[in-house]
Structure 1
Amino acid sequence: MVEFRNVSVTFKQNKNTVEAVKNVSFTINKGDIFGIVGGSGAGKSTLLRTVNLLQPLSSGDVLVNGSSIKDYKGAKLRQLRQNIGMIFQHFNLAENKTVYENIAFVLKTADWKKNDIKNRVNELLKFVNLSDKADTYPSKLSGGQKQRVAIARALANNTDILLCDEPTSALDAETTASVLELLKEVNEKLGVTIIIITHELDVVKSICNRTAVMSEGTVVETGEVYQVFTNPQNEFTKQLIAHTQNFEIPPEIRENITGPVVKITYLGERAAEAVLSQTASDYNVRYNILHGKIEYIGSKPLGILYVNITGESSDVEQTIKALSEKTYETEVILSA
């Protein structure tokens, strides 16, 4: 569907050459919800904009549906952009136009007939659950409603690909969840391939099936989201994920701890197994759970627990060994 082949993008800035994207190659399949994640300045947004040539390539190539687009101009470029919708962090709605007019404008520029425009806009407003807001101006909408209008506008021309540049960064947690749910529906019901740029790992975990991790203009890791989050291969990816998983034991609790504290990671079906109760019974130890959670990435569970183990030193040692064998990873983060 979208293939990046050795894509590089450079800018001139204060007489210096800035390499925003460096020799990037990977493929996004038809039907993917693909997340491109990384910190500020990683080159994510620049790479995204090469898909519809809002950002020209310095070298390399981008293929859309098997065709090279790097030399597209005129009518071919307009046709490409009509088939690729885009939404942004701050919505980019025309404040002087109603919700209906914001969506209809895209269709007018594509020479749709008046009655077809009316039918299509009403269809989209129903899909994004905003039929009652057709005559409302953006200033009267909430952030979530504005993004729903932006999504409807991006889909108006029977879009094949939807580019999302930090689509939830300006939204609160509850609104973010509802917008992400809508994007899932766009993917599942309309068959639209979605590419999401974000610095929020929770967005990638909740909606994407595949991901690429970017750092300083390069892609350091790609793969299925569950695999990347549970078994990262690149050091930058490991650090990025660790920031969301680490738990700092408060000093007042640390002072009163006897016995080691271990971080236990469970994957797949074992995330729901009663490993702690079984080992407590087998080795006569006690557990104090300091922190823990089970989250689901693409319906597959990932469990992380921080526990303090107390008992006879030999029993504790055997327990840690047993936990290492029965879980994905058991790491001693605080010794006795």
Structure 2
Amino acid sequence: MKQAVVDAESPVPLILVIEDEPGDAQLIRLQLEEQGAQAYQIVLAVSLKDAETQVKQHKLVPNAILLDLNLPDSTGVATVRRCYQLFPDVPVVVLTGLDDQAATEAAIEAGAEDYLSKGSEGRWIRKAIRYAILRHERDASERLAMAVFRHAREAIMITDAEQQILQVNAAFSEITGYSADDVIGCTPAILNSGHHSADFFDQMFATLASKGSWEGEIWNRRKDGSLVVETMNISAVHDALGQVVQYVALFSDITQKKAAQDKVNYLAYHDALTNLPNRTLFMDRFQQALVSVRRTQSPLTLAFLDLDGFKAVNDTHGHAAGDFFIRSAV
């Protein structure tokens, strides 16, 4: 097919027509140009592969695609899905020569903005393209939000006002082991580990009610039964009347980080060889005891233990034997 010269920098909408029947393709071109040859830039392609090649070769950014469902390299609703794989951020209007409502509905379900029967009047084609572009621009922020939702590394869980789970993202499933099908319709209680008291959750929802958000650490249980420690932020979503309509929870798995921090804290106050409290912990507890006896006027006893002749054990049998002896003694 002979192509018109296309200016990739032009503000005129660029329409990619993917149609393998030359007569139909030329008719669509004429229909698009009925109100002026400069109304649209038009690129014709005979297959999905041809369309991909032309777009890459000429570095084109189509504003809309008119797509025949049945092409040499794809047929039916799969054509729509493959088209969106090649051109993920371009609105698609399906062209069909079949009066098949099921096929057109499937095409819409697959993401097509609209559909037209081949041979439709030019004004309907232009209207479908114009509205497809407008809807696509209007929904740009929603698509961005959905992309963030799908690809966020933080787990996201959305519930209704009654705490029934409406939606979770992939990170939620990765952290908890539960798929979306496992939890949608359930409440977050499905994650309850039993680690927290009822007072903990009462305070959580009291804070949500008074401040509109809550953040903190929470222990949950994965699908396989293992415990997971999470840092969580919950926000209440209100309608125009101020009523809570949803809760949005974002959380990250800090189990390993917390275990490492707990180990560092433990080693800071305990002897690495014997696991007994070290001098730092002793002084802390001793100071607390002094405060207590001064307040209560009760007696305090402090005992010292020493190992006589221990140096000889190290010198004679080596430090490994000495360490073994100490561990055995305690």
Structure-2-length-normalised TM-score:
0.23
Q: Higher relative contact order by CA 8 Å / sep ≥ 6: 1 or 2?
A: 1
Larger gyration radius, structure 1 or structure 2: 2
Which structure carries more strand by proportion? 1
Structure-1-length-normalised TM-score:
0.23
